[in-house]
Amino acid sequence: MEFKVNDIAMILNGTVEGDGEIIIHNISKIDDGVPGTLTFLSNPAYIKYIYSTRASAVIVSTDFVPEGALSCTLIRVNDPYTALAELLKMYQQLKPARSGIEQPSFVSSSARIGEDIYIGAFAYISDSVIIGNNVSIYPHVFIGDNVFIGDNTTIYAGVKIYADCKIGSDCILHSGAVIGADGFGFAPNAEGPFSKIVQVGNVILEDMVEVGANTCVDRATMGSTIVHRGVKLDNLIQIAHNVEIGENTVMAGHSGVAGSSKVGRNCMIGAQVGISGHLKVGDNVKIGGQAGVMSNIADNSTIIGSPVQDHKDFMRCMAIFRRLPQMSGDISDLKKWMKQSEQK
């Protein structure tokens, strides 16, 4: 697909500075641009590339002031990153959508299927499943008994959704995600082996939830594991049984939340964060990468470290930690001086 720069600017409510008749046929990175492509500038660290990029047009903020000659056309918008996101979303929607039920696949006679559906080859739709309108289910997906899937949801290849789980509207589940596997519940046994605690709950993903590739959300022991509206989970995340994730929280890859912990709304959780079980993390909390959360966290906190502490305290501690070799030498010299003083 091809668009003129002027057309793109109109879609983004932006203004053109340069040749608006240039034809754009693809997207590129600003440091690796080629003619005929569109790129964007939002991170100040990449400003230097705008003077050398070969991309034909660059989306910039309205207050960007060039300090040298430019060979590209500018599209000025309030927020370049948001503008690019909207443009990519529109581009994705323009692609022809798949439709129909491919064979071989299995759809139970008791399943209720909505309109404008796509079910890929080798997908398996179990008994009493309810699937809404405009849902895309890619090949090798398994959907267990009594699962509900809302409208406009996309389930990519290889996803497994166990029985009784509920998936909201406008959700995206990426390849390899597992929704509703058993929680990690075992009781010590006096005879030696652990006894499995049967997990009889389910998982509820509310509307507009995105689950990354190979991420697991375990079913509750009793009741529901709940991922609320607007939550975004990265790849390779573990959400344990009876966990609750608040609205619009985002969590980066390799993180995990242990059983029965509650994470609040609008939280930002970095990569490789571990949250212990039966804790409460408040609303609007920011947790730095590789943090270890071992106690309750108050609303609006910004924390880092393992165990976690306030990020300002952590930075002060790190500043001291980096000086420990020198401090150790200073202490050794001081001890020698004190010993010599005592001998005198």
101-159 pLDDT tens trace: 999 999 999 999 999 999 999 999 999 999 999 999 999 999 999 999 999 999 999 99
Spatial contact of 233 and 215, defined as CB atoms under 8 Å apart? yes
Q: What percent of the chain has pLDDT over 90?
A: 79
Contacts of 3 (CB under 8 A, 6+ apart): 23, 24, 25
End position of a domain, from candidates 67, 94, 121: 94
**Residue 342, pLDDT score:** 82
Dump pLDDT digits (tens) for 281-317. 999 999 999 999 999 999 999 999 988 888 788 878 7
In a domain, 224, yes or no: no
- Is 180 contained in some domain? no
User: pLDDT digits over 225-258, tens only?
Assistant: 999 999 999 999 999 999 999 999 999 999 999 9
Structural domain boundaries enclosing 325: 314-343
Per residue in 36-66, is it b (16+ CB within 10 Å) or e — as a string? bbbbbbbeeeeeebbeebebbbbbbbeebee
- Mean of pLDDT over the chain: 94
Determine which one of 174, 228, 241, 311 is catalytic.
Answer: 241
Return the closest-CA partner of residue 243 out of 229, 259, 230.
Answer: 259
For position 323, what pLDDT does the model report? 82
- End position of a domain, from candidates 57, 76, 94: 94
Answer for the pair 194, 187: CB distance below 8 angstroms, yes or no. Answer: yes
Any domain includes 31: yes
* 63 inside domain: yes
Q: Please, which residues bridge with residue 143 across strands?
A: 125, 161
Given a cut of 80, is residue 94 above it in pLDDT?
no
Average pLDDT over residues 28-44: 93
Which two structure tokens, joined as six digits, stand for 196? 């499995």
Domain count, the chain: 2
Question: Which pLDDT score, from 0 to 100, does residue 275 have?
Answer: 97
Given this model, what pLDDT does residue 120 score? 97
Which tokens sit at 11?
């879609």
Higher pLDDT, 280 or 98: 280
**Model pTM?**
0.85
Domain end call among 94, 126, 144: 94
Provide the 3-class DSSP secondary structure of residue 216. Answer: strand
Task: Specify the CATH number for the domain of residue 30.
Answer: 3.40.1390.10
Which residues touch 321 (CB under 8 Å, ≥6 apart)? none
- What is the Cα–Cα distance from 260 to 250, expressed in whole angstroms? 18
- 241 is annotated as an active-site residue: yes
Q: Does residue 36 sit within a domain?
A: yes
